Copies of this chain bind each other. A is one copy, B any other.
Amino acid sequence: MMAVTELRASFRARLDQLTQTLVEMARLAGSAVERATRALLDADAELARTVVADDAALGALGLQAEETAIMLLALESPVAGDLRRVMASLRISSDLERAGDLAAHVAKVTLLRHPAQCVPADLCDIVREMGEVAERMVEKAGIALVTSDLRLASEIEGQDERMDTLHRRLFHILLAPDWSGGIEPAIDLVLLGRYYERFADHAVSVARQVGFLVTGEPLH
């Protein structure tokens, strides 16, 4: 009996460690998108380079999460709720890695155009808010991971609607007959808009995985 209890305790400890890794990944993704947006708006190549460099740390944590998950699956053969938690952790890790990649994409646009400013003055507010919404969404996803609070998941979905509104507004401006910014900035802004929108989608996906963990309802 004692041995089983100890095994459970060690499984629990490793699962908690896995969750802590995911929380740290969410923190890094949030920091990445915040800095990437600031670098973009200030045409700050140095700051953009830190975002690209730090993306490797997020990738390393993702690898670590995956290794812990595989170890838990291989050594402990979890079933039911525990298995679900390990599987959801794998998906969350993948979402957070991809979110980090998208922040790095934003930073790379800044580097590509440096020293020019990619975002015309009249679009700075929209881009700034897209960055803020993206950061808040992934930050909330990180808190949801620890608290399993389903209200946070629904708040994240609400913020995603805001992101969609901003994304549509951006396209609307780029397509207006009075757009005079030229093709190249329009292309940059289309891609930047997609990066923020997809970053937000990954935060929603993390929130849904948390919902799956709490309610056991499958998501697709």
A138 within 8 A of B: no
* Count of chain copies: 2
Could you pull out 9 A-B pairs where Cβ atoms are within 8 angstroms? A59-B220, A70-B87, A73-B83, A74-B80, A175-B187, A183-B183, A187-B190, A190-B191, A191-B194
For the complex with contacts A77-B77, A179-B183, 4 further pairs of A-B residues with Cβ separation under 8 Å are A73-B73, A174-B187, A175-B184, A183-B183
Indicate if A19 sits at the interface (CB-CB under 8 A). no
Residue A79 interfacial (CB < 8 Å): yes
Min CB distance A205 to B, Å, is: 11
Q: A51-66 CB contact bits vs B (8 Å, 1 = yes)?
A: 0000000010011000
CB of A206 closer than 8 Å to a CB of B: no
Give A187's nearest chain B residue, CB to CB: B190
